[in-house]
Chain A
Amino acid sequence: MGKVTIELPSVLGPIVDGDRTLTFEAETLPAALAALTDRYPALKVHLYDETGAFRQHVLCFHNQTNTRWMDSIDVPVSDGDTITILQAVSGG
């Protein structure tokens, strides 16, 4: 069981009462993300699409690794790990 930090973008701040840096105890990355949406159920529709996958333009990083490039996100987390949710920036 590791103590991990989840960081959220500012536009989602109101859904988590303004505190965008949150800590959870979890053993795996999916468990940490589940703990996030268990605490803030309204987040779920904003992070995931109808199939349960991350929305097309939502990025999730485990430390420095984009989860989109991982073979599986079912990996253990350790004390001090950071999970960062970002919106994919495209164009400009």
Chain B
Amino acid sequence: MSVTAILGTSKGAFVARSDKDRSSWTIEEPLFKGWKVTASGRDETGTYFVATASDVYGPALHTSKDLKNWRQIEKGPAWAKDSDRKLNQIWTLHLGPGRFYAGVDEAGLFASDDGGESWSPVEALNEHPTRPSWGPGAGGLCAHAILVDPSNTDRIWCGISAVGVFRTEDGGRTWHPKNQGIPVVLEDKKHKDVGFCVHGLAADPDDADTIYRREHVGMFRSRDGGESWQRIENGLSSWFGFPVAIDRRSRTLFVHPMESDEYRMPTDGKFRMFRSRDGGDSWEPLSKGLPQQRAYMGVLRGALDVDHLDPCGVYVGTTAGTVYVSRDAGDSWTELPCTLPRVLSVSVFTDG
């Protein structure tokens, strides 16, 4: 058994490897040196995908079988010449089973039916009637969260900032905003069903209708596929934060709260993760091994992942370039032996 983490940063990707014990790690030399690595993933065949971006040279999607030899995909997600939109970044990848999806900035969703070699826009979402009222959040106008119901892949949720969550029940032919119960942050004069600032989504692995939603204005849960949302903040140090991750085996949830949208740093300089073992009804702080004095780094929305082993491993990268790993479901943490550029994305894979 081995564990591999792709740590995507503002200046390249760093591959970290360990055995199943996860106590000793090697960090390899950077891949895509100088490029932002904004998302990564692995499909069912074991093929890796990495999304890169550059303020100068734009975004691209790359693929590899071995994390060493990479090939840029030539027909990656791209807006049409006459679309009046620019592709600034690939924010998230959903690599099957079945259809692949990519969420991008400038906001939209693209799909691939040939294993990622070519991509087409999901028109019904990208040209949604509310589109003229879509506005960006601080991170841009971006589609950054994709959930697919494993028992019915025609049911898909897409989170767009600062627009909200949309759901399709017919494989992407029609999409409907699902934000009932969420306070609006950018109220539109015409379309009252957009203007919500979703930060992150995670679904219960056995019940796709149970969805956890990190929102600009709090932590929420839906038990009805997004029809309604309720706050679940009991025990959290603050309501603000970006990523949410769930362990497939134990259904344990992990988040990193930050002090408000104004400050976006750990409260009182204490870097703490929070865990829920009861579906978000209550949260407990996790601090053993994490810096508890003068720690003011943040965690971006893609920089948290879990490995689904028993006990669950948790991996969180920070804006200060540190990466913390727990191999006991959050009870204790160690820092990886590296100081990286700002961590943008973390993806963890297990083998054997």
Show the binding face of A for B, using Cβ within 8 Å. 10-12, 14-15, 41-42, 45-47, 49-52, 55, 57-58, 87-88
* Residue with the greatest number of chain A CB neighbours at <10 A, chosen from B58, B74, B76, B85: B58
B78 engages A50 (CB within 8 Å): yes
| A57 proximity list for chain B (CB < 8 A) | 55-56
| B34 proximity list for chain A (CB < 8 A) | 10-11
A58 engages B60 (CB within 8 Å): no
Q: Which 4 A-B pairs have the closest CB atoms?
A: A46-B57, A42-B72, A87-B56, A57-B56
A87 engages B86 (CB within 8 Å): no
Distance (Å) between the CB of A34 and the closest chain B CB? 16
Distance (Å) between the CB of A58 and the closest chain B CB? 6
Q: Is B25 an interface residue (CB 8 A)?
A: no
| A41 proximity list for chain B (CB < 8 A) | 74
Q: Is B83 an interface residue (CB 8 A)?
A: yes
Pull 23 A–B residue pairs with CB atoms less than 8 Å apart, ordered by A: A11-B33, A11-B35, A11-B56, A12-B57, A14-B70, A15-B72, A41-B74, A42-B60, A45-B58, A45-B59, A45-B60, A45-B76, A46-B54, A46-B60, A50-B79, A50-B81, A50-B85, A51-B81, A55-B58, A57-B55, A57-B56, A58-B57, A87-B57
Chain B interface, DSSP helix/strand/loop, else mixed: loop
Give complex CA distance A11, B78 in Å.
21
Distance (Å) between the CB of A86 and the closest chain B CB? 9
B72 engages A49 (CB within 8 Å): no
The verdict on A58 contacting B56 (CB below 8 Å), with A11-B34, A50-B78 known, is: yes
* Residue with the greatest number of chain A CB neighbours at <10 A, chosen from B76, B85, B86: B86
Interface string of B42-61 (1 = CB under 8 A from A): 00000000000011111110
Distance (Å) between the CB of B249 and the closest chain A CB? 38
Interface residue from A11, A45, A50, A87 paired with B80 (Cβ < 8 Å): A50
A55 engages B57 (CB within 8 Å): yes
Q: Is B286 an interface residue (CB 8 A)?
A: no
| B55 proximity list for chain A (CB < 8 A) | 57
| A11 proximity list for chain B (CB < 8 A) | 33-35, 54, 56-57
The verdict on A50 contacting B57 (CB below 8 Å), with A11-B35, A15-B72, A45-B76 known, is: no
| A47 proximity list for chain B (CB < 8 A) | 57
* Residue with the greatest number of chain B CB neighbours at <10 A, chosen from A10, A11, A88: A11
Q: Which residue of B lies closest to A46 (CB)?
A: B57
Q: Is B87 an interface residue (CB 8 A)?
A: yes
The verdict on A45 contacting B78 (CB below 8 Å), with A11-B34, A50-B83, A50-B86 known, is: yes
Give complex CA distance A88, B33 in Å.
19
Q: Which residue of B lies closest to A48 (CB)?
A: B58
| B81 proximity list for chain A (CB < 8 A) | 50-52
Give complex CA distance A57, B86 in Å.
14
Using A10-B34, A14-B70 as known contacts, list a sample of 10 further A-B pairs with CB atoms less than 8 Å apart, ordered by residue number in A.
Answer: A42-B72, A42-B74, A45-B59, A45-B60, A46-B58, A49-B86, A50-B81, A50-B85, A51-B81, A58-B56
A88 engages B85 (CB within 8 Å): no
Distance (Å) between the CB of B117 and the closest chain A CB? 13
